[in-house]
Chains A and B, each alone.
Chain A
Amino acid sequence: MENVCYHMKMKSTFIGLFVFHRCTCIGCKWKNASEDSKLRFETYQLIWQQMKSETERLQEELNKNLFDSLIEFLQTSHSGLWKNSEDWSGEIKLREIPTAALILGVNVTDHDLTLRSLTEVLQNNVTPYVVSLQAKDCPDVANLLHPFLFLLMDCKVDVQSKEKESVQVIQKNVHYSMDSLSAWYMSVTQVNKHWFSPQHLHEFPLILIFGIATSPVVIHRLLPHAVSSLLCIELFQSLSCKEHLTTVLDKLLLTTQFPFKLSEKVLQILTNIFLYHDFSIQNFIKGLQLSLLEHFYSQPLSVLCCNLPEAKRRTHFLSANQCENIRRLPSFRRYVEKQSSQKQVALLTSDKSLKEETQSLLENLHVYHTNYFLVLRCLHQFTSFLPKYPLGRQIRELYCMCLEKNIWDSEEYASVLQLLRLLAKDELMAMLQNCFKVFQSSSAKELGNTAKKIEEFLAQFQSLDAETKEEEDTSQSQSKGLQKTDLYHLQKSLLEMKELRSTSKRQTKFEVLREQVVSFVDSLVREYLLPPDTQPLHETLYFSSAHTLRQHLNAAPRIALHTALNNPYYYLKNEALRSEEGCIPNVAPDICIAYKLHLECSRLINLVDWSEAFATVVTAAEKMDANSVTSEERNEVIHARFIRAVSELELLGFIKPTKQKTDHVARLTWGGC
């Protein structure tokens, strides 16, 4: 069947589409067979599932507050109706349509998800009659009402309307473009005027929920006053996507819960795509998934990337090949070199001792991470409040820096210490308190005395309070003594005091203590915030191929095209094609030559000139080959090659036929002037 189809295709010019039946589908093939591939794939699936459910949980949690307050608003907004109250304010309320304006920030893709879950929540908690409409689906009233009523009817069929009075919620997803925004608002205006005018409200309680990208002012600007006065708008602010990112990072990467880690460059790429391109958490998660996949796919030792007990168990079953892989790891080699010669031999020859060593190294790695994140958070507590944020405001920036190199070698870190030395007491105490909380929350034993130490510092600061009071008293008494002297003496004594201070520079107890705290923090950082590539076996957990990630997520097709056309040597490693920057040898593929020639032209290109130029170049190249074909035939062939190159350029979108002048084509690329 399939073969038949295939042959048919070759003949037929009238069918562009072919279906191939053949059942019994294969499952996932984790090819690249060898090296525990199956196990690796399973581990990947396990970790990914965990990560996914964790992100979903986070999402829910973050939305919870917003949804709760929304639901509360929805439930109370129409309560006035039932009371049939006679009083004046109730009357006013009846004339208004309760409206919730949901400020979501600029981003389309993630909002779909948020709004979908909102719809779900509303359907479960408030009313089955929820209609969600998209701005782009309803450019005008007719188009708005149709899906609206359609969806509403749909709801009713489902629930067999028990209540007679129903609450409808129109949910709106407003997109970037002001066009669609205004178009949609116009439609709502119309609806408000003609359809849901206040008198209907008695029989037809309605609540609007608008999704807004920028600010609530838009509503007032787009709706005429007559309409907006009929809306009783309440604002709800959703969590900004940056905070969302921070939480996700915090829960997925800055934790020992998931063994998988990203290297500095990879993390940088992911956050940059997020910050500079789309603000989409979903995309960020996708990037994370891809890096997880790549890690497990390309690194055979990623079998060890699982929780500690399991990893230890797995080391027992490592094949000889895998042991070789471990020995080849650069980090492991560095580690071996530092060992005594006897141990070196053991590690390099005996698989058993290697496995034992691997186990202990894995454990070290685990401990390293536990401490690492605690100290990182602690350092973040100190740095995140400093003026100008020398080490970044967000913990992810700090994390990136720490991953990259020894943080204490950087200038920023020096300035942080400098700034810390200038802190006032209450600020310092607040920071210490936060740090204390961080350490307390963890159960790590190694850092247990750190928490104790911080507690001691805090106590000392508190006791300082009392002492300083005394000091102040004494200084006050001094100043009392000074009061009775005349101006001359006062000046003199003040000068003396100043000199005294500058010369002896007697530090107060507070200053001494502050110095101690700073050096304590510094020692913590130097001990625990070593960059991961100093750790043996870090390759098993860290995904570092930033280049692959960028290539697959943030590709640049235009540049690739340009490179291929402009510098064929880049792809075809033939010495004949080697050339300097910006030039091209005449033996290059036809399309490259045609492209190069067309770059010399303006908006319009004369095909005759082009083809002649092309022929000149190509003939020159052919003469080198000493072709013995008759000239007429060769010319025809060259012409055919030219036609092919030109039509290929047309397919690629560099030129198009034009009717402005006969036998001309128009350039389409920038610079076509």
Chain B
Amino acid sequence: MTSTLELKEDKMLKVQFVGDDDVLNHILDREGGPKIKKDRAQLLVNTQKIIKKPENELEEDDQEVLKDQNYVEVLGQDVQESLKNGSATDGGNKVYPFQNRKHPEKMAKLASELAKTPGKSVSLNKNDPEITIDIPQCSKGHSASDKSQLKNNDKSEFLSTAPRGLRKRLIVPRSHSDSESEYSASNSEDDEGVAQEYEEDTNEDILSQKIQAQNRVVSAPVCRGTPSKKMKRKKTSHLVEEYFEAHSSSKVLTSDRTLQKLKRAKLDQQTLHNLLSKVSPSFSAELKQLNQQHEQLFHKWMLQLHLGFNIVLYGLGSKRNLLERFRTTMLQDCIHIVINGFFPGISVKSILNSVTEVLDHMGTFRSVLDQLEWITNKFKEDSSLELFLLIHNLDSQMLRGDKSQQIIGQLSSLRNIYLIASIDHLNAPLMWDHAKQSLYNWLWYETTTYSHYTEETSYENSLLVKQSGSLPLSSLIHVLRSLTPNASTFFLCFSAWVYFYQQCREAFLVNSDLTLRAQLTEFRDHKLIRTKKGTDGVEYLLIPVDNGILTDFLEKEEEEL
């Protein structure tokens, strides 16, 4: 019954906008005509199937789950025994399933639901029919109003635009545009803003909006229709297609609000830290228990390291403190190197350097490979030599490269170098192919700590735009303090962006090109300046810091001087 009703509704909608449809058909008759017709036929079929599909879908899902379980069983997973392991709960099938497009307001909705029912949990089940039906209705409501508005504003423009661009747009498969349209309804809560934007927009943009609006008409039935398509095609292929469909569209519509409108001041590292220190940690008892569980493993790690395995820790939460405790309790009497992988300036070269430093090697090496070879020989010759490498975040930006991993792997494959490392990134295991894995000879340990990645995220690079600025500023000041007055004035001049060599000479900061370069090297080492060869061969210097920060900096310096 409901389906027929809905059908009627759809028809009504279609009738309402028949004029636009005609326009479409008129243009499309030349090229894309048959396509559309086909689509429409499908549409009708789909709406009829509406009632059946949820069950089928569920069944299919179940089967999928079953299949997965089979695989897991093949892998010899022991569910009964695996009480401690997080990986056992979801057999992997639910981890990152492809999700249908969701309404942007869903987040807010979920939030309010979560908020409204404190303590009690809100079901987020995707198969929930209420939610799925909700979406199209919602967008329908929006579309009606948007539509009328559009009609008023842009009708004339639409007609006047060249049909070429339009055709291009229309050839894009319907199923794709329909899902987009769901979005276009978006958070246009302030209609004024939207209208303004339209006025400013170029012709083409208006056009696309227009067409989306038209598609919106169709969108309601199609939205419901998509799952039934699922039945027709194989599920996997469907997922793949949907993925590419979603990612091919260049335009994703979200609300246009920016943080600037929100009058939240940018936070620097220090204030952030201060603010966070006010937060009382929750679940401390449980966290402590978790940590204690991990700490019981220390002796085992020690043993396994000695027997030729290397240890990698994974799981949510910073493993820094855990490793630090491991270091203080177990490694007091051994030579060990702690490497903070998350530090932006770290490199394999520096790791190797510190290893050679430990071995009391004076002199330099031609290349990293030379150095590695020297280390290898040294360790092979002297079996009494033992070295522990502790690497926090082996998967950090600086170390995740293929070459770096290869070299660290080769180091770790040495009999008397013991490596214990932590990884955090979701895709970290992808760094290692079979060859590297056999070099590393990993034993995996899950150490979920839930502790905050305070240190790891404290470096500028790993933070989002909004709290940027403070660190380079503080580091600028930091470096400047540690320099000779000559050099610091020099940097001031430099940052004042004057033709500085001359000015420096006049100020007697540098007396020759050579000393200038020496000074520059110092700054370069601290990544405060960068050199670039221009197209004409002239060397350019630039400070890789935002203009705003630089002015801030100059102001502060002037105040102090």
Q: Are the CB atoms of A572 and B286 closer together than 8 Å?
A: yes
Q: Are the CB atoms of A272 and B276 closer together than 8 Å?
A: no
The prevalent SS among residues of B at the interface is loop
Q: Is B386 among interface residues, defined by CB-CB distance under 8 A?
A: yes
| Cα distance A314–B303 in the bound complex, in angstroms | 24
Q: Is A576 among interface residues, defined by CB-CB distance under 8 A?
A: yes
Q: Are the CB atoms of A547 and B316 closer together than 8 Å?
A: no
| Cα distance A585–B124 in the bound complex, in angstroms | 12
Q: Nearest B residue to A549 by beta-carbon distance?
A: B76
Q: Is A14 among interface residues, defined by CB-CB distance under 8 A?
A: yes
Q: Are the CB atoms of A640 and B252 closer together than 8 Å?
A: no
Looking at the complex, which of B29-37, B345-353, B499-507 is the stretch in contact with chain A?
Answer: B345-353
Q: Are the CB atoms of B75 and A619 closer together than 8 Å?
A: no
Looking at the complex, which of B3-11, B15-23, B94-102, B200-208 is the stretch in contact with chain A?
Answer: B94-102
Q: Are the CB atoms of B259 and A624 closer together than 8 Å?
A: no
Q: Are the CB atoms of B464 and A572 closer together than 8 Å?
A: no
| Cα distance A2–B336 in the bound complex, in angstroms | 11
| Chain B residues bordering chain A, tally (CB within 8 A) | 138
Q: Is A276 among interface residues, defined by CB-CB distance under 8 A?
A: yes
When A17-B338, A559-B95, A646-B464 are in contact, do A573 and B315 touch as well, CB less than 8 Å? no
> Could you say which residues of chain B place their CB within 8 Å of the CB of A31?
299-300, 302-303
Q: Nearest B residue to A605 by beta-carbon distance?
A: B254
**Contact partner, B457, options A269, A648, A673, Cβ 8 Å:** A648
Q: Nearest B residue to A573 by beta-carbon distance?
A: B286
| Chain A residues bordering chain B, tally (CB within 8 A) | 133
> Could you say which residues of chain A place their CB within 8 Å of the CB of B450?
564, 568, 571-572, 589, 591
When A268-B76, A552-B445, A561-B316 are in contact, do A647 and B354 touch as well, CB less than 8 Å? no
Mask, B503-517, CB within 8 Å of A = 1, is: 000000000000000
> Could you say which residues of chain B place their CB within 8 Å of the CB of A603?
246-247, 252
| Cα distance A660–B464 in the bound complex, in angstroms | 14
When A28-B306, A563-B87 are in contact, do A20 and B336 touch as well, CB less than 8 Å? yes
Q: Are the CB atoms of A108 and B434 closer together than 8 Å?
A: yes
Q: Are the CB atoms of B257 and A606 closer together than 8 Å?
A: yes
| Cα distance A28–B308 in the bound complex, in angstroms | 12
Looking at the complex, which of B154-162, B422-430, B529-537 is the stretch in contact with chain A?
Answer: B422-430
Q: Are the CB atoms of A623 and B118 closer together than 8 Å?
A: yes
| Cα distance A646–B441 in the bound complex, in angstroms | 33
**Contact partner, A670, options B96, B101, B316, Cβ 8 Å:** B96
Mask, B390-432, CB within 8 Å of A = 1, is: 0000000000000000000000000000000001111111000
Mask, A549-587, CB within 8 Å of B = 1, is: 011111111111111111110111110110110111111
| Cα distance A619–B89 in the bound complex, in angstroms | 30
When A603-B247, A669-B96 are in contact, do A571 and B86 touch as well, CB less than 8 Å? yes
**Contact partner, A609, options B118, B121, B254, B287, Cβ 8 Å:** B254
Q: Is B307 among interface residues, defined by CB-CB distance under 8 A?
A: yes
Q: Is B110 among interface residues, defined by CB-CB distance under 8 A?
A: yes
| Cα distance A557–B452 in the bound complex, in angstroms | 18
Q: Is A16 among interface residues, defined by CB-CB distance under 8 A?
A: yes
Q: Are the CB atoms of B95 and A558 closer together than 8 Å?
A: yes
> Could you say which residues of chain B place their CB within 8 Å of the CB of A661?
254, 256
B349 → chain A, closest Cβ, in Å?
Answer: 11
Q: Are the CB atoms of A591 and B95 closer together than 8 Å?
A: no
Mask, B296-322, CB within 8 Å of A = 1, is: 000110111011010000111100000
| Cα distance A576–B264 in the bound complex, in angstroms | 31
24 A-B residue contacts at CB 8 Å? A19-B357, A26-B334, A31-B300, A290-B309, A555-B444, A555-B446, A560-B315, A560-B316, A562-B94, A565-B316, A571-B450, A577-B283, A582-B124, A582-B125, A606-B257, A619-B115, A640-B275, A641-B279, A643-B466, A644-B272, A651-B453, A652-B316, A670-B96, A673-B99
Q: Which A residues fall within an 8 A CB radius of B?
A: 2, 9, 13-32, 107-109, 112, 265, 268-269, 272, 276, 278, 280, 282-283, 286, 289-290, 293, 297, 545-547, 550-568, 570-574, 576-577, 579-580, 582-587, 589, 591, 593, 596-614, 616-617, 619-621, 623-624, 636-637, 639-641, 643-644, 646-648, 650-654, 657, 660-665, 668-671, 673
